[in-house]
Structure 1
Amino acid sequence: MTSKHWMILSALIAMGGAVQTAHAADFEDFARVISVTPQMEQINVPRQDCRTEYETTQRYRQPERQAERSNGGAILGGVAGGLLGSQVGGGNGRIAAAAAGAIAGALVGDRMDNNNTNSNNNYNNQPSYETRPVRQCRNVDSWETRTNGYAVTYEYHNRTYTTVMPYDPGSRLRLHVALTPRP
């Protein structure tokens, strides 16, 4: 080997020692875990609560057009009543009975002929009820508890430290120790 090669080899060995010395201050060790406390937070996750209710409404029917009254029943009733009245009694009593029969017959005939016309008015004034489903929805707060980390208290070389970690480390905590000299 030439002297040039020895110099390069000596420089490499010296650099390797320096690199080893720089890394010698960084190492891994374990600490004893004293306590682990989950860090909890409350989060609101709103949701929609819906249900169907039934609503009853009252409404009135539209009045129908009132039918026109008929005179046919009164005329027929009057003729029939007059004929029946004329069969009763004699002389002037017969004329009076015929007149009374005609009047009574006209009233009965009118009522029979126009009976349906008046009864519809009361029916139209009666309310009707209608029930229909109505969907009711509202937003409701829904709180959830979540763990967002762990407060870990550990002991290393008779000193106590606390840090927050994303997981529970168990009974031992792996540490990366880096020693640096003070200037």
Structure 2
Amino acid sequence: MQSRSDGSRRYFDGTILYTHVDSEGRNLLDYVSAMERALEGARSVLVLGTAGGSLASQLSRRGVRVTTVDNVAASFDLARRWFGMPAEVQCVHADARAFLNETPDRWDAIAVDVFDGVDVPRAMLGPEVGALLAKALNPGGRLVWNVADDAWSLPVFRVVKVLRAAGLAPKRRAVLDETAGNTLVIATVKG
């Protein structure tokens, strides 16, 4: 949806707002900005979950090498045509967990922003997922996982449990975006 008054664009899935950018394609959502700040310093980032591509776009515009993975192939076209995702962003049509299982590549950071509605997909909460994420990170790499709930909710607890099972020490960071709250779960792989 594009605003007639200011040219900003929003991507909704039902009533859920996934992307909001200004007329130049710059992100306007607090949780995306918080994810970008948490990923600062990374030269390569794997983004699991694309939606309108605002996180991938912001990182790419800063010179970060970005690979984004989504199980909905149309999300890449949507992100490029409507939200200005740069051509330099590598797009991979795949299930996030299957991709992690198969990729030999490593990144300085991983952003997990995958949802089934507002829920973390069950497949991403399996006991091996934390180890797969850690394996895909370079030594000293950082993981930032967005959860659409408050910091002490059951979904956040489950994400923390998955990461602790992989030997990571996750920390919670609450982000309030207008009236909705998200939590970033952030962990670093020991170098």
- Structure with greater contact order relative to length (CA < 8 Å, sep ≥ 6): 1
Higher-strand-fraction structure: 1
TM exceeding 0.5: no
| Range of TM-score over shorter length | under 0.3
> TM-score, normalised on structure 2?
0.14
Q: Highest Rg: 1 or 2?
A: 1
Higher-helix-fraction structure: 1
